[in-house]
Structure 1
Amino acid sequence: MPEYRRILLDGAATQTRREGDELVSADGRVVGVEDAVHLPPSVPSKIIAVHLNHRSRVEEFMTSLPPAPTYFHKPTSSLNGHRGAIVRPERCKYLNYEGEVAIVIGRTARNISPAEAGDHIAGYTVGNDYGLHDFRDTDAGSMLRVKGSDTLCPLGPGLVTDWDFRGKRLRTLVNGTVVQDGSTDEMEWDMHYLVADIARTITLNPGDVLLSGTPANSRPVQPGDVVEVEVEGLGRLTNHIVTGPTPVRDDCGAQPTESEEVISTTFGGDWEFRGVRAPRR
């Protein structure tokens, strides 16, 4: 399957094609895969993510899926790349990973059927839909700061075309230990359905990204942790967690909270209902 990677090559953003352990640009310049400075494989005008899609995640939260998918928006300023640093702001504690498959649009899509959606997809990449749950009480359901803060949307390492999304394994690892293990077959709505659903009222442009949902066991990570998301056939996206150099300002806006809602979401499910005290780190 062809794979394309955007890298910083001699100071310029450059599209390359992977050939074994090398990345080759259109003008013939070559850089080793391990030596490359990776950029997100797409330059989207928008990033749209589905709330719940994997059945294991639904069961974990002891809830049920709505009749149709619901979505939120991540600003493009949250984009990050393979091996990029994920910044947990000072005064925040609950930064969760969410390993996902990301859909990248290749042709303008508007008012298309699920059967037509595949013709409008350029390919797929690996994503990690990080959530800063300290702000979960303050965003009135928009998820703007929870999911849209800077650095919280790493994508990569490359864009893979001609990839069949059916029956593919998805795993997330923290410091080498598997913490999420799911399959695209547990998704209620597949990639084509998601694209067609959004395109009913929102034009999807080439480069736009849709995040397709995460399996169970999203949990918080700490500065110093290395988080990897591995999708069969798409490769492995690696990032590390760092602490932001300055704290979240306290002279304006809602402040980070540690409510039951925050704790419940961060550690998976309704902890108060279960009678289990959430672990603290």
Structure 2
Amino acid sequence: MTEYRRILLDGAAVRVQRVGDLLLAPDGREVGVAEAVHLPPCQPSKIIAVHLNYRSRVEEFQGRLPKAPTYFHKPTSALNSHGGAVVRPERCKWLNYEGEIGIVIGRTCRNVPVEQVGEHILGYTVANDYGLHDFRDTDAGSMLRVKGSDTLCPLGPGLVTGWDFRGKSIRTLVNGKVAQDGNTDEMEWDMHYLVADIARTITLHPGDVLLSGTPANSRPVQPGDVVEVQVEGLGTLRNHIVSGPVPIDSAVGAQPTESEEVRSTALGGDWEYRGQRAPR
């Protein structure tokens, strides 16, 4: 396996290769991993995410998987990087983490059989598919603001080639404590299947990202929290939560809500949310 990263080096975006604790640029410059300013490891033209894929997540909501995967879209303006701040806007309470694995396309992919998909994948990265559930009532099922608001798609720290997605652990930690703990073998549809499914009708270009689902126990986080997603063989993506500096204009559009559906989704489906302390 080989790990590549994109970092800000002397004011320019540079693709580097990780060798131990060093990041090596093509021109010979080097920087320590801990000192690097990270950028998203790829530059997608689109980010597509599957709704439900891990069995533990389905069981948590006491539901059933659909006969085929369903998806939503995150705009590229939601991209964030390892070490970046994730913004919870003012007047919002229900910002949830979702530790995931991102599939990064390497070759243009359209109408490709499942058994050939691997030839079109460049590599894999760690992702956190944050959801701002305060807008769940007003997005009419599109998930646009819920999943597409600025900063809600951290990727990184690197992109790993030659990685086998089968049987790998995935964990999310909040302030050092394990919050999600799953394995890729929980997936109903594996990563090659997801790519083949989307590429039947949508052309995937180099750099495009597919997010492959999250295990159970997505929960709200608060400003000041540090969230880490650890994937076996891919590394650890770390971000911190901050408050948005500008209040949402109460005179424009639909506003954040706190319905039973919002609370139930944010707190885990069958959660007995009545009487629980609301996030600050």
TM-score category (smaller protein): over 0.9
In structure 2, relative to structure 1, the CA distance for the partners of 1:269 and 1:278 (3 Å cut) is farther
TM-score by length of 2: 0.98
Q: What is the aligned partner in structure 2 of residue 189 from structure 1?
A: 189
- Describe the superposition over 1:158-178 as per-residue Cα deviations: whole angstroms up to 9, x where unpaired: 000000000000000000000
2-side partners of 1:270 and 1:233: how far apart? 33
- Describe the superposition over 1:114-143 as per-residue Cα deviations: whole angstroms up to 9, x where unpaired: 111111000000000000000000001000
Please say if residues 23 and 30 of structure 1, whose CA atoms lie closer than 8 Å, have aligned partners that are also in contact.
Answer: yes
Q: What is the aligned partner in structure 1 of residue 106 from structure 2?
A: 106
2-side partners of 1:10 and 1:276: how far apart? 52
Please say if residues 264 and 273 of structure 2, whose CA atoms lie closer than 8 Å, have aligned partners that are also in contact.
Answer: no
User: What does 1:29-40 align with in structure 2 at a 5 Å threshold?
Assistant: 29-40=29-40
Cα RMSD for the two superposed structures: 1.0
Q: Which one-letter code corresponds to 2:278 in the other structure? A: R
2-side partners of 1:16 and 1:242: how far apart? 29
Shift of 1:49: 0.1
2-side partners of 1:237 and 1:277: how far apart? 33
2-side partners of 1:180 and 1:7: how far apart? 28
User: What does 1:125-274 align with in structure 2 at a 5 Å threshold?
Assistant: 125-271=125-271
SS at match of 1:167: coil
2-side partners of 1:39 and 1:30: how far apart? 16
Q: What is the aligned partner in structure 1 of residue 5 from structure 2?
A: 5
- Describe the superposition over 1:181-223 as per-residue Cα deviations: whole angstroms up to 9, x where unpaired: 0000000000000000000000000000000000000000000
Please say if residues 126 and 229 of structure 1, whose CA atoms lie closer than 8 Å, have aligned partners that are also in contact.
Answer: yes
Shift of 1:280: 2.0
Shift of 1:99: 0.1
Please say if residues 3 and 161 of structure 1, whose CA atoms lie closer than 8 Å, have aligned partners that are also in contact.
Answer: yes
- Describe the superposition over 1:215-239 as per-residue Cα deviations: whole angstroms up to 9, x where unpaired: 0000000000000000000000000
Q: What is the aligned partner in structure 2 of residue 61 from structure 1?
A: 61
Unaligned runs of 5+ residues in structure 1 are: none
Please say if residues 263 and 278 of structure 1, whose CA atoms lie closer than 8 Å, have aligned partners that are also in contact.
Answer: no
- Describe the superposition over 1:23-44 as per-residue Cα deviations: whole angstroms up to 9, x where unpaired: 0011111000000000000000
Q: Which one-letter code corresponds to 1:229 in the other structure? A: V
SS at match of 1:246: coil
SS at match of 1:221: coil
Please say if residues 267 and 278 of structure 1, whose CA atoms lie closer than 8 Å, have aligned partners that are also in contact.
Answer: no
Please say if residues 263 and 273 of structure 2, whose CA atoms lie closer than 8 Å, have aligned partners that are also in contact.
Answer: no
Q: Which one-letter code corresponds to 1:280 in the other structure? A: A
Q: What is the aligned partner in structure 2 of residue 77 from structure 1?
A: 77
The list of structure 1 runs, each at least 4 consecutive aligned residues, that deviate by more than 6 angstroms after superposition, is none
Please say if residues 23 and 33 of structure 2, whose CA atoms lie closer than 8 Å, have aligned partners that are also in contact.
Answer: yes
Give aligned-pair identity as a percent.
77
Shift of 1:278: 4.4
1-side partners of 2:269 and 2:148: how far apart? 22
Q: What is the aligned partner in structure 2 of residue 89 from structure 1?
A: 89
1-side partners of 2:193 and 2:126: how far apart? 19
2-side partners of 1:15 and 1:188: how far apart? 34
Count of residues in Structure 1 that have an aligned counterpart in Structure 2 = 279
Please say if residues 90 and 243 of structure 2, whose CA atoms lie closer than 8 Å, have aligned partners that are also in contact.
Answer: yes
In structure 2, relative to structure 1, the CA distance for the partners of 1:278 and 1:141 (3 Å cut) is farther
Shift of 1:249: 1.2
2-side partners of 1:170 and 1:57: how far apart? 13
2-side partners of 1:61 and 1:203: how far apart? 32
SS at match of 1:53: coil
Unaligned runs of 5+ residues in structure 2 are: none
SS at match of 1:220: coil
2-side partners of 1:278 and 1:117: how far apart? 46
In structure 2, relative to structure 1, the CA distance for the partners of 1:87 and 1:200 (3 Å cut) is same
